[in-house]
Amino acid sequence: MPKLTRRAIVALSCLVAMAPFTSARAQVDTTRAAGFIQAAGDELVAAINNAALNPAARQERVATILRRSVDVETVGRFALGRFWRVATPAEQQEYLRLFEESLIRNLASRFGEFQGVRFALGRTQSRTEEDALVSTVVTRPNSAAFNLDWRVAEAGGQPKIVDLIAEGTSLRLTQRSEYSSVIQRGGGQVAALLTAMRAQSGR
User: What are the pLDDT digits (tens) for 84-119?
Assistant: 999 999 999 999 999 999 999 888 887 767 778 888
Contacts of 55 (CB under 8 A, 6+ apart): 112
Classify residue 167: in a domain, yes or no: yes
Residues 2 and 198: their CA atoms lie apart, in Å, by 49
Q: Which residues contact residue 99 at a Cβ distance below 8 angstroms, ignoring those fewer than 6 apart? A: 72, 75, 76, 79, 80, 197
Q: Name the residue range of residue 64's domain.
A: 25-201
Whether 14 maps to a domain, the answer reads: no
Kindly report the CATH number assigned to the domain that includes residue 161. Answer: 3.10.450.710
**Over the stretch 16-25, which tens digit does the pLDDT of each residue have?**
333 333 334 5
The answer to whether position 169 is within a domain reads: yes
User: How many structural domains comprise the chain?
Assistant: 1
Give the 3-state secondary structure of residue 2. Answer: coil
- Please tell me whether the overall predicted TM-score, pTM, comes out greater than 0.85 for this model: no
